[in-house]
Amino acid sequence: MSSAPENNGRRRFLTLATAVVGGVGAVGVAVPFIKSWNPSEKAKAAGAPVEYDVSKMMPGQLVRVQWRGKPVYVVRRTKEVLADLENGHNDQLKDPTSAVPQQPDYATNSYRSLDPEFLVALGVCTHLGCAPTYRAGDFNEVVEGVQNGFFCPCHGSKFDMAGRVFNNVPAPSNLVIPPHMFNGGTMLTVGVDKGDA
């Protein structure tokens, strides 16, 4: 039998110290594990809205921006292009009134955009996902009487300057118009609806 006196205070201290160290260790392991469930910064950025200052664009110019890993075509349409969309070629289009929902409600018009001067469309053909080529001034080589548009070199689909698909081509529907809005008149934001701001 031991003759040393019992030291309950020391025993309680050691028990408490061991519990605290174990708790800190458990938190140290749990925090990185739980953080690993969150999407990475790259994944967050892939779905984030994209901004572009359209005031720098010249009439007739096309600019490509990336949104969710896809190209978005932004075209500053000329007065001649707008007149052609108003008066032109509806009888040659599969869906001239944008009845198939390939755009937000506010873009269901003959321009398929918030601001008639700017087309904002996914640069992805609705047939098999190729990238249509912007044809400015020589589109009449593929569609008689229409000077500007988009031609998909993969299988010959054709779209006008509102992204509407022409008849007798493989693409089944108009180009997709992503949600977009204009801040201050010149800053285009792709990926946010005008009602979400």
The catalytic site residues sit at 155
Residue 91: how many CB atoms within 10 A of its CB?
Answer: 7
Residue type, 53: D
DSSP 46: H
Measured from the Cβ of residue 92, the count of other Cβ atoms closer than 10 Å reads 17
Using an 8 Å Cβ cutoff, are 140 and 190 in contact? no
Residue 65's contacts (CB-CB under 8 Å, 6 or more residues apart) are: 50, 52, 71, 72, 74, 190
Q: How far apart are CA 165 and CA 87, in angstroms?
A: 17
Place of tokens 């977009």: 180
